[in-house]
Amino acid sequence: MPPLDRTVFVIDDDEAVRKGLTFLLRAAEHRVETFASAGDFLKTYDEQRGGCLVLDIRMPGMTGLDLQHEINARGWHIPTIFITGHGTVPIAIAAMKAGAFDFIEKPLRGDALIETLERAFNQDEAQRQERVELAGLNARAAALTGREREILKLVATGESNKVIARQLGISFRTVELHRSHILEKMGARTLAELIRIAILLDQQRA
């Protein structure tokens, strides 16, 4: 499990806005890094770092929407909160479709930004954890033999050892042996846990 990393990356072409956001977010005890343009952010960001992106839609050069598409293209997963001074429905739809986490109007009302950030961090962390877990599972699944993978698939569909043995034309005893190997290799303690893992892996493939 990686350490919690809750940095807010602020991108806005207006220095006053950048500084204001920094002031507010630091007061809310967040780590803040600011960038004057989308390009600057893309140059320095390390995808291993968790956190959240706060960016203006309307910027000279690469706009907020362009940046979101670029992040998607690079396969990054950092959540994005758009801030716009002229929120119109089409723009909001475009941002959300592109995968924005949320869409907030300028100037800010109440603690909307802080609350949204909280949710974004939580989601980011959950997703990160899931990704890490999935990566481990994938590594373990890679260690399974062909026959073990076959049996795992059948186990995941809820077949009993007897049925599996008949289907594969092997002895009941051999199936039991394979199953204990699979449990061991996948680091699962119970059959229920193994089934959850199998479903997770299956979903990821889909």
Is residue 108 a contact residue for other proteins (CB under 8 A)? yes
144 belongs to the binding site for other proteins (CB under 8 A): no
The one segment of 78-86, 129-137, 146-154, 172-180 that binds other proteins by CB under 8 A: 78-86
58 binds other proteins (CB under 8 A): yes
107 is a site residue for other proteins (CB under 8 A): yes
Q: Which of 40, 96, 99, 111 binds other proteins (CB under 8 A)?
A: 111
Q: How far is the CB of 126 from other proteins (least distance, A)?
A: 26
Nearer to other proteins, 73 or 89 (CB): 89
Report DSSP letters for the chain, one per residue.
-PPP--EEEEE-S-HHHHHHHHHHHHHTT-EEEEESSHHHHHHH--TT--EEEEEES--SSS-HHHHHHHHHHHT----EEEEESS--HHHHHHHHHTT-SEEEESSP-TTHHHHHHHHHHHHHHHHHHHHHHHHHHHHHHHHS-HHHHHHHHHHHTT--HHHHHHHHT--HHHHHHHHHHHHHHHT-SSHHHHHHHHHHHHHHH-
User: 2, 26, 72, 157: which one contacts other proteins (CB under 8 A)?
Assistant: 26
Contacts (CB under 8 A) with other proteins, residues 84-103: 85-86
Contact positions vs other proteins (CB under 8 A):
14, 16-17, 19-21, 23-28, 58, 83, 85-86, 106-108, 111
